[in-house]
């Protein structure tokens, strides 16, 4: 039998903790639909679920998405049955502060891939409470990725010569891909959320024998 015709019965879960940018959530929703994954959104959200930006990014996929919204982190853990030791093993919290990379982790049917908000990631107390479940995506250091920061600032001064406070400029706070930047040290908080989710989800799919990936 053609492996692409094999019935896919494994179910993975993507969790967005307080997402802020509707286009990212829409894109992730599309990825969930084509991989058979569920999407979980933990409030507060930075947008409405009928947002035009969300629907534009999700296209017709959004109507086919298995999506659930939760009041807060505790509501999510309770409703998904993740409050005990067994539930802890099903969590994968993505953060730059983890020692283990996502590729070093083991993914199983029913696991939950948890991603933080675009501006600040997952809260420190949440990471501390689930320290053994934390994973990171390797990336270059800020000094390498933002070597052009002086030119960036000069461009801003040209675009907004009357700004009394240059660090208030939107371009210094958020780039076109939705990455937020700390004006004090030009630090990018993370990969674009939708890219990060796709990277980890497809590794989890590979490990759980998604059709066509053997």
Are 160 and 195 contained in the same domain? no
Query: CA-CA distance, 36 to 19, in Å (whole number)?
Result: 21
Are 119 and 91 contained in the same domain? yes
Q: Using an 8 Å Cβ cutoff, are 124 and 98 in contact?
A: no
Q: Which residues contact 40 (CB under 8 A, 6 or more apart)?
A: 13, 14, 15, 16, 67, 68, 69, 70, 76, 80, 112
Query: CA-CA distance, 167 to 156, in Å (whole number)?
Result: 9
pLDDT higher at 114 or 167:
114
- Burial status of residue 165 (CB atoms within 10 A of its CB: 0-12, 13-18, 19 or more): exposed
Residue 164: predicted pLDDT: 46
Q: Does residue 214 belong to any structural domain of this protein?
A: no
Q: Does residue 12 belong to any structural domain of this protein?
A: yes
Task: Give the pLDDT mean for 26-33.
Answer: 94
The mean pLDDT of the chain is 80
Are 131 and 158 contained in the same domain? no
**C-alpha closest to that of 22 among 50, 61, 64, 63:** 50
Q: How many domains does the chain have?
A: 2
Are 14 and 41 contained in the same domain? yes
pTM: 0.79
Q: Which residues contact 31 (CB under 8 A, 6 or more apart)?
A: 14, 37, 194, 197, 198, 201
Task: Give the pLDDT mean for 201-206.
Answer: 96
Are 106 and 200 contained in the same domain? yes
Q: Which residues contact 79 (CB under 8 A, 6 or more apart)?
A: 68, 70
What's the CA angle centered on 86, arms 203 and 33, to 5 degrees? 40
Q: Does residue 212 belong to any structural domain of this protein?
A: no
Q: Does residue 213 belong to any structural domain of this protein?
A: no
Residue 62: predicted pLDDT: 86
User: Which CATH number goes with the domain that contains 40?
Assistant: 3.40.1280.10
- Burial status of residue 17 (CB atoms within 10 A of its CB: 0-12, 13-18, 19 or more): buried
Are 150 and 122 contained in the same domain? no
Is residue 190's pLDDT more than 80?
A: no
Note down the domain range covering 101: 3-139+191-207
Summarised one tens digit per residue, pLDDT across range 85-108 is: 888 899 999 988 888 899 999 999
Are 60 and 161 contained in the same domain? no
Q: Pairing between strand 187-188 and 181-182?
A: antiparallel
Are 110 and 170 contained in the same domain? no
CB atoms within 10 A of CB 91: 20
Are 66 and 103 contained in the same domain? yes
Query: CA-CA distance, 43 to 117, in Å (whole number)?
Result: 11
Are 111 and 180 contained in the same domain? no
Are 107 and 61 contained in the same domain? yes
Are 50 and 81 contained in the same domain? yes
- Burial status of residue 177 (CB atoms within 10 A of its CB: 0-12, 13-18, 19 or more): middle
């Amino acid at each position: 039998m053609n492996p692409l015709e094999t019935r896919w019965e494994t179910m993975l879960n993507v969790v967005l903790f307080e997402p802020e940018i509707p286009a990212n959530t829409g894109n992730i929703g599309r990825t969930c639909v084509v991989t058979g994954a569920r999407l979980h959104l933990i409030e507060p959200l930075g947008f409405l679920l009928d947002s035009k930006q969300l629907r534009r990014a999700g296209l017709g996929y959004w109507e086919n998405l298995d999506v659930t919204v939760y009041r807060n982190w505790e509501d999510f853990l309770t409703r998904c049955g993740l409050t005990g030791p067994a539930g802890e093993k099903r969590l994968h919290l993505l953060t730059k502060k983890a020692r283990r990379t996502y590729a070093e982790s083991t993914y199983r049917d029913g696991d939950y891939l948890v991603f933080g908000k675009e501006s600040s990631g997952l809260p420190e107390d949440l990471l501390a409470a689930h320290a053994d479940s934390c994973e990171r995506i390797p990336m270059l250091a800020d000094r390498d990725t933002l070597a052009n920061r002086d030119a960036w600032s000069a461009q801003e001064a040209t675009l907004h010569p009357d700004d009394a406070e240059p660090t208030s400029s939107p371009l210094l706070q958020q780039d076109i891909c939705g990455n937020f930047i700390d004006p004090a040290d030009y630090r990018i908080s993370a990969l674009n959320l939708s890219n990060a989710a796709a990277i980890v989800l497809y590794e989890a799919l590979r490990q759980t024998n998604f059709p066509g990936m053997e």
